Amino acid sequence: MTDRMYNQMADIPTLTNFGVDEAIQYQLEQSKHVRFEPLDPSKVSKIIALKAICASEKVMAVAVRIRSVDWAVEQVEFGVTPVTFPYQPGLFAYCAAAAIFQAIMRLNPLGDVVIVEGHGVAHPRRFGLACFIGLSLNIPCLGCARSLLNGTVGFLHDEKGSYTLIMDQDEPIGVAYRSRKGCKPVYLSVGNRIDLASLISLCANWFKGFRLPEPLRLANYFLRLHFQKEF
């Protein structure tokens, strides 16, 4: 775990105490630091999957490290924090970050790439939860969301593996990906240190017959299993 990560974690209480205007300004400033760069899928052997959910007055999060060669789960850790920044569309990171980092800091080692249930740059200010995590960890990170937050999607074929760009005016900000025939798409976007072409190539092998990619399906399973009394 890097010094930068520990420093970022120390800043979490301050970030979660932001007002809405401050939170928005922080996103606009930090979005300039997101890096788009190729990632060779053959270099990815360990995947970190992150998921957080707000329930009543708590935020509950899970971090799962998975071996990509056989999908073996190597480590599962959890985080629980009080809600200090109520959920608002486009500002979910401020609600979820403290619990997510609590779970992440217990992983040892981390992994080669992180997938977060949430948006990356497919966000009104180009700085969703996956960007927040990706910049903090300084490792490749991508977001996968179940609903579209920003941009428009063109025609998408019904076949498994079909995808189309998410566009915001003339800028591609992510992809809508259909993981199985007739299933609603998921929305993938860059969090940090990956580009769209690498993201598509990497995730194509992560769908195993479910709507969500396998790392996030496992994260959802462990989160619900651990906190089943909350649901």
Domains and CATH numbers, the chain: 3-18+40-230 (3.30.2170.10)
Give the residue, 129 or 226, on which the prediction is more confident. 129
For the chain, the first-to-last Cα distance in angstroms comes to: 32
Give the mean model confidence (pLDDT) for residues 75-89.
93
Give the pLDDT score at 12.
Answer: 60
pLDDT > 90 in the chain, percent = 84
Find, among 145, 159, 87, 155, the residue nearest to 115 by Cα: 145
pLDDT > 70 in the chain, percent = 92
Q: What is the DSSP letter of 27?
A: H
Cβ contacts of 103 within 8 Å, gap of 6 or more: 50, 61, 62, 63, 77, 78, 79
Confidence bin at 229 (pLDDT 50/70/90): low
Bond prior to 124 in cis (omega within 30° of 0): no
What residue type is 210 in one-letter code?
Answer: F
Give the pLDDT score at 17.
Answer: 74
Q: pLDDT digits over 124-143, tens only? A: 999 999 999 999 999 999 99
Cα distance between residue 50 and residue 104, in whole Å: 8
How far from the centroid of its chain's Cα atoms is residue 190's Cα?
9
Give the residue, 122 or 1, on which the prediction is more confident. 122
Give the mean model confidence (pLDDT) for residues 147-171.
96
Q: pLDDT digits over 52-69, tens only? A: 998 878 999 999 999 999
In the three-class reduction of DSSP (H, G, I as helix; E, B as strand; rest coil), residue 231 is classed as coil
* 73-84: b (≥16 Cβ within 10 Å) or e: eeebbbbbbebb
